[in-house]
Chains A and B, each alone.
Chain A
Amino acid sequence: MFALSKRSLIKLNVNQEEYEVFIRPSDILLFTLREQLGLTGAKPGCYNGDCGACTVLVDGLPVKSCLMLTAEAIGKQITTVEGLKDAPIQKAFIEQFAFQCGYCTSGFLMVCHALANRHPNPPDIVIDEWLQSNICRCTSYEEIGNAIRKVLSGTCK
């Protein structure tokens, strides 16, 4: 049985690199990524799983890192926006002007990237369902939808 009873040194796999970090068992993943690893792409927003600004991928699936313990992520593959490295969705966001202030962008990018990987040809209802996990206060929803559709149609690589 794996156990963490106090502040301990653990290994995390983030963006295909192994990191050693000191964590409290009660630390949340968002905090560890930002404060310990300096990966500030995942944004703190509501801390309550509502806004999606902190979304990262865990084993390829989108997860709100404000609602995941760092301890849960041990042994998982974590991907942050820093790990996308010129993914098609990033190019599409630029081409489609899919952001304004940019605070929500990394969260939307992670959801869109996961969607494109898991459902290469999804119906509109699936696209809508995935995108409804995130909030954009600048209301760039139309452009964000255009960006993901561009990637899914293969016209942005």
Chain B
Amino acid sequence: MTTKHLEKINSLLLPVCFAGVLLVMYMALGWAPLETTEGHVQRIFYVHVPVSWSAFVAFFVVFVSSILFLIKRSEKWDWLAVSAAELGLLMTTLSLISGIIWGRPTWGVWWVWDPRLTSTLLMWMIYVAYLMVRAYSSEAGRGSRMAAVIGIIGFADVPVVYYSVVWWQNIHPQPLIRPGNLELTGSMALVLLTSTIVFTIFLFYLISRRFLLEKATSELAVMKRTLREEEQDARIAKIKIDRAENK
């Protein structure tokens, strides 16, 4: 797939995303029935679940493209990895914030050290470190390689963290309300499904936009370097000519 194709798909996706988000807003805020026990607060669920899902999809993309980058050493996998990581981090942040806002009125607490919440928080931290390593690496090429290793280990670590917290709780049950399962009616499930599809498309739109930006940035850096080298060569050549003339 060339850049042109990607740009074309992108320009088609933008109106789809825009319409989709409007539709989801209408469905979630107006059309979906009022949940009997939680009331209107429950509607945050139609954002919370899709962003959490998108975060996971994005990190899966990071995982796969990190592996491909280490095997094939093609820059484009690195561009894809960093794009997906940034958006995954954004989605995880939204997931954590919406979860906290939802938790307070429903469970009476902002936060529970429950397996899902704990592993999400640690996942967030792993990908913050992922982006920091890229930003602080001593050489750009090394940063990509180091980040790829973190992208792989970090993703593999999330289920390990999850199960270790499950065990931690099983042995020491916490005296708190556990996130219960909502009774989903048919129309609620439909809203959730629509919202998840829209958010996933939106995620891919954003990732591909970010990918094109990363590609342009990297190509610009190469251009600048060649230009600088050419300038330098010209300067050296000029000095040589001057010296020859002086003789």
Query: Is B one of A's binding partners?
Result: no
